[in-house]
């Protein structure tokens, strides 16, 4: 009996002195779990099928938030709640655009930009003027622009390697084009879709009006070429626009927040985020259903593996990244009002393709510290951890001094589908999705374990 007690005592002591699993082992466990899990993939399937076009204020946005809320509750997250706030909203009911030439009407594939003004009920018919830049509109001036529909048709610069740079090369036309044209007296604006393909999908997006709002829409690149060619061949081409949209001064909506409590520092929050809204014309698979289900998967991985996080891990499904970024500002305000200690925030909103790396918007010392984890993640497809941007939703937290990070994937296909009906579930590959969840969970594990 004494011998047995001694043996038990010895065993319990040696148990205590067993080394903790190495980081390599824990990360291997994370990927062993995630590469056999279809949970995130199935969640994405649901969002795309039952809640496509989930712009803020839409019924679909409510379906999406409720679905993910139930998911977190079933997962056994310690704290799941809707963070309510009010914001303006906008809704597009329909967009019809055509051009008229030699008594023929040719329909164009178009989607209104948000928050476009509606046209009169019977539409708007006007002469069209094609331009290549904002400066051209300013130079043409009121005398040449007034009463016309301005057609911005400068293509993106495809020679750039990163497609986010390709996007930036023409995005001024969409974001500022309607504002500049309105100031010159234009009655409407068409914008060539900002995307990497010549195809028939219009890519919508937000536009930044100042004082005057006018109807405005994106047309597909195929249709932009068609209109431009028609204008080259014939004089007197007119464009007809019919947009039915509604603007709401104030609606109530919410961010979805789910926490798993930290064992040592429960009041310090490591945020992992995506945005739950998508444009009205899009299932929003890559933008940003993927980011949401990956962020949600990080919590699942921590729960299932019992990773015993020291700090609380907080998943945020932000509302309204696309139109007014009201969810981002609402969480900032919530953090300030409640003195929330946001320790670090990581956002996934750059597509769910093959992993590339993490970019960090923080001090050099934090960047140096986190980039040391590169070697541990390199076997799982991470090519870099370096200084860079983070995400639109977590961006406002920078003013509170919160270190920010963005998860990056191979960008080559992202601008094919961004903000369009082409961004469907089948464009997401399960293994690429899983590797994203795994790498996000792994880097959060390391940041939580070693601190900043």
CB 137 within 8 A of CB 184: yes
Closest to Zn ion by CB, 75 vs 273, is 273
DSSP characters over 229-269: HHHHH-S--EEEEEEEEEEEEEEEEEEEEEEE--SSEEEEE
| DSSP assigned state of 420 | S
DSSP 161-195: SSHHHHHHTTHHHHHTHHHHHHHTT-SEEEEE--S
Site string for Zn ion, 142-181 (x = CB under 5 A): ----------------------------------------
Comparison of 239 and 276: residue with beta carbon closer to Zn ion: 276
**CB of residue 287 to Zn ion, shortest distance in Å:** 4
Q: How far is the CB of 388 from Zn ion (least distance, A)?
A: 17
Name the minimum Å distance from CB 266 to Zn ion.
Answer: 30
- The answer to whether 94 and 109 have CB atoms below 8 angstroms apart is no
Q: Residue 33 or residue 163: which is nearer to Zn ion going by CB? A: 163
Compute the least distance from the CB of residue 176 to Zn ion, in Å.
Answer: 20
Beta pairing partners, 413: none
Nearer to Zn ion, 349 or 361 (CB): 349
Nearer to Zn ion, 60 or 288 (CB): 288
Phi, psi at 180, each rounded to 5°: -65, -40
Site for Zn ion in 279-318 (CB under 5 A): 287-288
349 scored as a contact of Zn ion (CB under 5 A): yes
Q: Which is nearer to Zn ion, 287 or 320 (CB)?
A: 287
**What's 118's DSSP letter?**
P
Buried b (16+ CB within 10 A) or exposed e, 420-447: bbbbbbebbeeebbbbbbbbbbbbbbbb
Rounded least distance, CB 281 to Zn ion, Å: 14
Strand-pair partners of 400: none
Q: What gap in Å lies between CA 220 and CA 197, rounded to an integer? A: 9
Residue 70: how many CB atoms within 10 A of its CB? 11
Tokens coding 163: 């497609």
Q: How far apart are CA 102 and CA 94, in angstroms?
A: 26
Q: Which is nearer to Zn ion, 56 or 134 (CB)?
A: 56
Which DSSP string do the residues of 13-77 spell out, in sequence order? HHHHHSPPPPHHHHHHHHHHHHTT--HHHHHHHHHHHHS-S--TTSHHHHHHHHHHHHHHHHHT-
Question: Which among 302-310, 341-349, 400-408, 430-438 is the span making contact with Zn ion, rule CB under 5 A?
Answer: 341-349
Select from 138-146, 262-270, 349-357, 432-440 the region that touches Zn ion (CB under 5 A).
Answer: 349-357
Piece in contact with Zn ion (CB under 5 A), picked from 33-41, 214-222, 227-235, 343-351: 343-351
Q: How far is the CB of 285 from Zn ion (least distance, A)?
A: 11
Q: Which is nearer to Zn ion, 259 or 349 (CB)?
A: 349
Taking the complex as a whole, the smallest distance from the CB of residue 267 to Zn ion amounts, in Å, to 30
Q: Does 320 bind Zn ion (CB under 5 A)?
A: no
Only segment of 17-25, 75-83, 293-301, 345-353 that touches Zn ion (CB under 5 A): 345-353
Q: How far is the CB of 322 from Zn ion (least distance, A)?
A: 7
Cβ nearer to Zn ion, comparing 288 with 356: 288
Q: Is 277 in the site for Zn ion (CB under 5 A)?
A: no
User: What is the total count of residues that contact Zn ion (CB under 5 A)?
Assistant: 3
205 in Cβ contact with 218 (< 8 Å):
yes
Q: Which is nearer to Zn ion, 48 or 131 (CB)?
A: 48
Binding to Zn ion in span 18-57, by CB under 5 A: none
Residue with Cβ nearer Zn ion (237 or 292): 292
**Chain centroid offset of residue 13 CA:** 50
Which residues have CB under 8 Å from 338's CB, separation 6+? none
- Interacting residues of 175 by C-beta distance below 8 A, sequence separation 6+: 205, 206, 207, 208
Cβ–Cβ under 8 Å, residues 319 and 277: yes
d(CA 52, CA 289): 10
Smallest distance from the beta carbon of 268 to Zn ion, in angstroms?
A: 27
The nearest distance, CB 423 to Zn ion, in angstroms, is 10
Min dist CB 340 to Zn ion, Å, is 24
Q: Which residues contact Zn ion by CB under 5 A?
A: 287-288, 349
């Amino acid at each position: 009996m004494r011998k047995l007690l001694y043996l038990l005592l010895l065993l319990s002591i040696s148990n205590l002195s067993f080394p903790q699993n190495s980081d390599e082992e824990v990360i291997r466990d994370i990927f062993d779990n995630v590469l056999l899990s279809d949970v995130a993939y199935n969640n994405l399937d649901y969002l795309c099928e039952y809640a496509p076009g989930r712009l803020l204020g839409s019924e679909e946005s409510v379906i999406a938030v409720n679905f993910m809320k139930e998911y977190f509750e079933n997962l056994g997250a310690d704290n799941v709640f809707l963070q309510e706030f009010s914001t303006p909203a906008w809704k597009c009911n329909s967009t019809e655009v055509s051009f008229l030439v030699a008594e023929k009407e040719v329909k164009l594939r178009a989607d209104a930009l948000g928050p476009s003004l509606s046209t009169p009920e019977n539409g708007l018919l006007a002469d069209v003027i094609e331009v290549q830049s904002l400066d051209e509109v300013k130079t043409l001036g009121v005398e040449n622009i007034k009463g016309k529909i301005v057609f911005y048709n400068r293509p993106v610069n495809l020679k750039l390697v990163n497609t986010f740079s390709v996007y930036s090369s023409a995005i001024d036309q969409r974001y500022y084009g309607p504002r500049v044209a309105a100031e010159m007296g234009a009655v409407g604006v068409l914008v060539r879709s900002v995307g990497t393909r010549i195809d028939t999908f219009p890519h919508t997006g937000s536009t930044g009006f100042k004082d005057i709002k006018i109807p405005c829409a994106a047309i597909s690149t195929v249709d932009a070429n068609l209109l431009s060619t028609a204008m080259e061949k014939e004089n007197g081409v007119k464009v007809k626009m019919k947009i039915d949209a509604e603007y709401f001064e104030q609606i109530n909506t919410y961010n979805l927040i789910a926490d798993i409590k930290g064992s040592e520092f429960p009041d310090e929050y490591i945020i992992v985020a995506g945005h739950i809204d998508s444009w009205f014309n899009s299932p929003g698979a890559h933008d940003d259903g993927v980011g949401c289900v990956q962020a949600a998967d990080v919590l699942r991985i921590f729960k299932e593996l019992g990773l015993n996080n020291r700090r609380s891990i907080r998943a945020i499904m932000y509302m309204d990244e696309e139109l007014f970024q009201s969810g981002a500002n609402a969480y900032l305000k919530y953090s300030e009002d409640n003195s929330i200690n946001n320790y670090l925030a990581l956002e996934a909103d750059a597509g769910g393709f093959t992993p590339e790396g993490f970019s960090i918007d923080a001090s050099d010392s934090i960047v140096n510290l986190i980039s040391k984890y590169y070697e541990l993640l390199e076997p799982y497809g991470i090519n870099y951890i370096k200084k860079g941007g983070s995400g639109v939703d977590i961006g406002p937290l920078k003013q509170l001094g919160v270190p920010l990070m963005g998860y990056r994937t191979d960008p080559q296909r992202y601008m094919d589908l961004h903000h369009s009906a082409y961004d469907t579930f089948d464009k997401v590959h399960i293994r690429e999705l899983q590797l994203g969840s795994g790498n996000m969970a792994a880097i959060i594990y390391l940041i939580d374990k070693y601190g900043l």
